[in-house]
Amino acid sequence: MKMKSLLVVITALILITGCSNSESASSNNEVKKATTKSNEKEQVNAQEAKTDAPKDQGDYEVRFEGEADRKGKLITIKGQTNLLPESRLVIWLDSVEGTIIGGRGDTQVKEDGTFETELKIPKSSEGLLEVNLKFDPNSDNQPIKDHYGENGEKLKGPFVRLNEESEMQRNITLLTLEIPQDESSASVKIEKPKWDKPNDYGSPKVRIDEPDIQKDDKYLYIEGKTNLLEGTRIKGNLDIPNYIVSGLSDVTEINPDGSYKLIIEKPASMNKLKDVKDYELILSASPIDSQWKSNLKIYGVNGEKFQGDHVVDVNGTKEIQKRISISE
């Protein structure tokens, strides 16, 4: 009898222990399942966050989209690009009517490819403004340099421009937006430029086509085509009969296809010239006008390699000149 009772007790203990182990295993399985579900959820979130970045992020063919909005004396620039996150964009203001002190800043591209910054317009600044946005890998952090090349040599696309400093050429991206101030607000979209390089591009026999000249109450807008090399500085200034004036001029660098755009105040912007109806626009490119050394190898340090109908001699230096008559 005692032996039977002992067997019953042992059997009961075995059953209790088994149930306890089963419950513990079940509990552990539930914890593992919960942990797995939690991990799966975190992975999904990470993937969703990644899809916000442009699919072409980091491609060497660089693109920009966006716009610049001006309200009063504040300009807000918003956009998206496929440049790598943390790429540094430098933004600055130029004025058609004079030099702007300040009006400069920078921002970085975010993980989703967007960028945004603001620029304050000096109270004293009036007239047409130019907003410039530049990306230069050479002045960025090392991972950006490694990706695009120390001198931006891997950059491609219509936003890419040549730049030369200390005889070293490198690629940058550059875009310029024109923003008027004649209304309380203005908005300008970023547009992809279209370049059409001519067959005689870079020839020392320089060609300057008749420019397209548009006018409004305040400015002359001059757009033209040449076969001059990218980066060549071309100047436009107004020659007023019987007057010696300064300030009615503009200078720019030739685009990748030999084209250019100049914006010059009209003579009527000066009170003493308000009655002037006839004058000349002089387009010129001189080797002594801070030209790139790589371009001077083609044109000559003193312009001695310049050829064509527009070559003139100015104090022993050859330069390119084209004179255009304008009537109001």
Note the residue count of the chain.
328
- Under a CB-based contact definition with an 8 Å cutoff, are residues 159 and 173 in contact? yes
Q: In what order do the strands lie in the sheet with 104-108?
A: 104-108, 88-95, 129-135, 168-179, 160-165
Closest CA to 116 of 77, 73, 68: 77
- Under a CB-based contact definition with an 8 Å cutoff, are residues 104 and 130 in contact? no
Residues 234-293: pLDDT tens digits? 999 999 999 988 889 999 999 999 999 999 999 998 889 989 999 999 999 999 998 999
Token pair, residue 6, equals 């002992």
d(CA 120, CA 105): 10
With 80 as the cut, is the pLDDT of residue 195 above it? yes
With 90 as the cut, is the pLDDT of residue 30 above it? no
DSSP state of 271: G
Domains in the chain, start-ordered, CATH in brackets?
A: 64-185 (2.60.40.10), 212-327 (2.60.40)
Residues 107-165: pLDDT tens digits? 999 999 999 999 999 988 889 999 999 999 999 999 999 999 999 999 999 999 999 98
pTM > 0.85 = no
DSSP state of 100: P
Closest CA to 109 of 70, 132, 131, 141: 141
d(CA 219, CA 236): 13
- Radius of gyration from C-alpha coordinates of the chain: 33
With 60 as the cut, is the pLDDT of residue 18 above it? no
> Letter for the amino acid at 293?
K
DSSP string, 51-77: TTS-TTTT-SB--EEEEEEEETTEEEE
Q: Band of the pLDDT at 51, cuts 50, 70, 90?
A: low
- Report CA-CA distances (Å) from 113 to 57, 63, 64, 319: 7, 11, 10, 45
Q: What is the pLDDT at residue 190?
A: 97
